Structure 1
Amino acid sequence: MDLEFVLTNTKTDSIIRNGLIAATCLNQSLRLLDYGNVIVQENYRETSQVRIITGGANFMGDLVGKGMLTAAIQGEQSSAPASNIILRTLHELCHGHPGGALVIVPGDIGDMLNFGVAVERALNSDLRIRTMTVCDDRTCDRPRRCLCGIVLVYKIAGAMADGERNLAAICDYCRRLCENMVSAEIEVFGGQSYDECKCNRQSSPVDSSSKYLPQVKVCLDNLIKVCRVSGSTDALNVDCLDDEFSDDKLLLTSNDEIVVLVNNNNELEKLEMYSLVKDMIEYLRSMNLQVQRFYIGDFMQLSHTKLSFTILKVIDSDVLYYLDAACEATGWLRMVQGEYPLNTDVVIKGVIEKTIRTESPVKGPRLSETHTNILLFSMQFACNALISCERQLNCIDANKFNSGGIGKFKGDTGTRMRTLSELLLKRMKVDKIPLEYPFTFFDNMSKILEKSLGGSTGCIYSIMFEAAANVFGAYELNEPVRIGMWMEAFGAVVEALQRYCDVRFGDGTMFDPIYRFVETSKLELERNCSSLSDDGLGAFGVAVEKAEETIEEIKKRKVYADPGAHAVGIWMRAIYEGVKVRWPN
């Protein structure tokens, strides 16, 4: 059997696994964990440093090594790693490790959602973890994408960990880096010069038959604003904050020091790459910017773009110090070989055995019998409401997907919600959903929704419930459940959705009514009461009304209603009505 036959007939999962084995074979300081496609530093258990963890659909295994990443979790073809693999890796690297871990998530929706589920569950297991998302492409509308700037974040975070910096310091510094960094695609045209940049045209002519070298166009107009400093700080503010400046631009001043990274992504040949380096350096110098470091290579293989670049402002001398620090990741420096003959025996067994948990643990305060019954009744109310609205939700879903009914997609949001609701009713009937402890209830609901609802919607609801569980799990068992705990949990839900879904109020998604409900509840409770009384119930009702008004505003603002937002309105109203019926006078 020849090699060509083997390669062309290998299943996708085998190709990924074999590729990771080869990557670890070529860097003998790495190993591959047995339970999934996870590349780790071989000595990760022997150091007290902060662990730097990432993952995604794009291959990042060659960025793992001393001075850079501790571990990279590889997703399947064009998809994010599964949340259970991410969670097990977090346990593997963080269990019993006081230094903790920084999880750096590429700003792509699949990666953010799956990492979000795993991180929230890891936090509920008392693992020491901080997380940050890198969305460095400032040329596109929300949601922003992750381009090559994340490579610089990996390098600096890894060097800081190698220098024994603590978790909070590394996380805060890397977030500052992201605030001072922009990335964008570099356009490549075939054969002829093309003077008009991307931000000023609708389409670009490409002559694939041309005999000339490719023409490369780099446009910085939409990315950076360079201010010439003269006089006082007040003058600087006047010069910079003009009509041309926006929050999406990186604000620089004359003679600022910058770092540039170009990710070739197998687009240009080597001579073309270095020619691009020369032209970019001269162009940036003409803007009175000082290029202190310039990196170019195939750092990441991105499926959604070809050639891209990053500009990072040197915010202090530590940026260059950490970039110059020693690093054994082969994607940044040379291969690490020579300690012993190459071999493919690179799989090691994880230290932490996988445990199958059949029930959610009991943590946090306990509800009274009255409040437990209210929770049960309101849950049943919500499930019945979603079942009765199946057809309505399907129609809204179909209208949005088919652009006004032109397509043939029937819509399935209502059907999925009905199926989930029937499952929940069935489980509640046989006491399979724990209700006495809010932590246990939310933790259990998170797992049910992720598996039963599925897709992005299942991940979103799972993140919501995990975030709420995390709040209640932090309290002692003997503490009474107070209204402040519920408000803290609601606030955690909003923060988690913003962190992992890259959403903001006004985007016209299911986040809008949830955000309005939480903010209104806070205002009403501060105004009227401090305990769950009649006034507390009244505040709940006002908040539900405001959430429903927000859903109506979405309908007016958008061509098609959002089925997710509509579903939120249905179960939110039903829960309130259920609570009102059973609430003691």
Structure 2
Amino acid sequence: GLVACNAGLRLLQGHRVVLRADLVAIRGRVALLSGGGSGHEPAHAGYIGKGMLTGVVAGAVFTSPAVGSILAAIRAVTQAGAAGTLLIVKNYTGDRLNFGLALERARAEGADVRMVVVGDDSAFAAPKKAGRRGLCGTVLIHKVAGALAEAGASLNEIVKRVSAAAKAMGTLGLSLSPCSVPGSKPTFQLANDEMELGLGIHGEAGVRRMKVSGAPHFLSLLGSPPSSGSHSAPYPAGASVVLVVNNLGGLSCLELGIVAGAAVRSLERRGIRIARALVGSFMTALEMAGVSLTLLLVDEELVGLIDAETTAMAWPNLTMAPATSQRQEVLAPKEGPGTTQREPSTGTGPSAARVQQVLERVCSTLLDMQDELNQLDREAGDGDCGHTHARAARAVSPAWVMTGPVSRQLYGLFLTAAAQPLLNHDDLPTWADAMDAGIEAMQRYGGAAPGDRTMLDSLCAAAQALHGLRSPGATLLPVLATAVESAEAAAEATRTMEAGAGRASYIRATGPWAPPAAALVVMGDVAAHPMYPQ
């Protein structure tokens, strides 16, 4: 799929290998090959291009690539005229063995091949015999090596420079969920209120399990940024770093942004300068709802290599400037000369007590119905209607401020428009005018009408009853009682209606659904893919 959608990539026939389409461009330059198990997309093939990798070798999900395919990739770049080949490998036993065996066979054929093993995991207090696992920091090594190769650096120089960079880098991961290899069960179990700290990228459990907490608490657990050089001492105040906030697969962009903001503020408090910040999905673990943080200690020259141009599709279009939480804000415009300031009501009029009683009753009713409203909303929307109205009830203040999504705008439109007729009059007929004005505004901006199975069905029925206030000698309470009965009857009548507006209009009411023929063809192809054995 990646090759089909990117003209700059080519498959190596007979192998799960992707190469640059312009292999002729690497003649006289060092070729860079990397790879590993699938399931880490956009790694590794997303980093192929001018200024990054020459090619990658993919294994099955979370499985090291075949030796024969690695050797085939080395032969391909060697025959294209590369001035040596560097294998960039994450520190996992299978990858080290398979890439190492391919390297030895290639050397036996006369190829000039070297290998750099990246181990940036900072979860352990001290390296185990196997060494630190290779994590998202490997992507930064791809970038540094790619910039050096594009500039014409020798194989020995690239090995020396990227080896030094790898020692000045650390990564720590955190997840709210495990992941599942297609056709298998989750790789580990987490309770709903737990999160896993210090985990790898293959679904393996981490080094510590704790209760779910916010991003600032997670960052405080680090104690200090991921370790530099020896992986034992924190970066000193005044140090300059590149920060990578990496989505492990299932985190939303919103959550990723929260972590990124917290990370920037945390580093700033420690006196660390963030020369560059990368935020996104760089090296994932299938659908794992987690995040990893990588720090690379940099100098001006290393930052220049990070900034160097690349055509790799997964490398972000970085702003060549430091990250900071102290950017100057745009000043908010002042109110125009025609803006009218109204004094807030003191709430001491003769009807103030009754208004307060009504509001208290409305709020208590909304709080009692929270679960019921949520359940109703799940049938046609996102299931937050009860929460929204409960927040509104709790937030009612002397200013009667409401919070919430679509309902907030509808109520705001209604009340703002309804208030206009009441500014200078307070007689009974004006209250009917206010109801009409509010409904008209809702229809104008919301696009719904009576009969569309929305709140307008009840409101319009109530408004019709309130027109009785315009009759000579009308009194408030009987007309209000009639309005309530009319609204309830209209709400009940919506049971048999088909929704014509709002979220419910997208939900199938009755009868079977038939997808377009083209959709059936595509879905059939996807379902037949070998990754989905079930």
Task: Report the TM-score, using the length of structure 1 for normalisation.
Answer: 0.45
Q: Could you say which structure has the higher helix fraction? A: 1
Between Structure 1 and Structure 2, whose CA radius of gyration is higher?
2
Which of the pair has the greater relative contact order for Cα pairs under 8 Å at 6+ separation? Answer: 1
